[in-house]
Amino acid sequence: MESIVKTDSRGRKTVLNACTEPCAIEKGMRLIGGKWTGSIIYHLKDSPVRFNDLGRMLGGASKKMIDQRLKELEARGMVVRKVINDRPVAVTYELTEFGRSALKILEDLRVWSEANSI
């Protein structure tokens, strides 16, 4: 629902139907807007990736941060964790269909960011 904004005679604006809960943009940002979250999703776009490989792809992210974000994405149903070996433990992460649905948004954001970087 789009907000209705009224301006009074003194130029002050009032929103008549303000949101009482987060709007759709805010909800979307909560899903993919956390630090490193979008980058993790983007790096999983082509195929399953092992944890250490993902760490190398992300460069500046700590293993703790990557682990935390992957757990959040898994809890939201955007990423699947698969154990591929027990000893030593080796896992891969891959996007679910829901996770893949964010790729267009992230690609558009990447293009926009590259075109507008200072």
Q: Would you say residue 14 lies in a domain? A: no
Sign of CA dihedral 80, 65, 84, 50: positive
Q: Would you say residue 17 lies in a domain? A: no
Q: Would you say residue 11 lies in a domain? A: no
The H or E element that residue 32 is part of is helix 24-32
Tell me what pLDDT residue 73 has.
Answer: 97
pLDDT in tens, 49-108: 999 999 999 988 999 999 999 999 999 999 999 999 888 888 999 999 999 999 999 999
Residue 113 clears pLDDT 90, i.e. is over it: yes
> Whole-angstrom Cα distance, residue 105 to residue 38?
10
Q: Would you say residue 5 lies in a domain? A: no
- pTM comes to 0.77
CATH of residue 71: 1.10.10.10
Q: Would you say residue 16 lies in a domain? A: no
Domain count, the chain: 1
Q: Would you say residue 81 lies in a domain? A: yes
Domain span at residue 44 reads 22-115
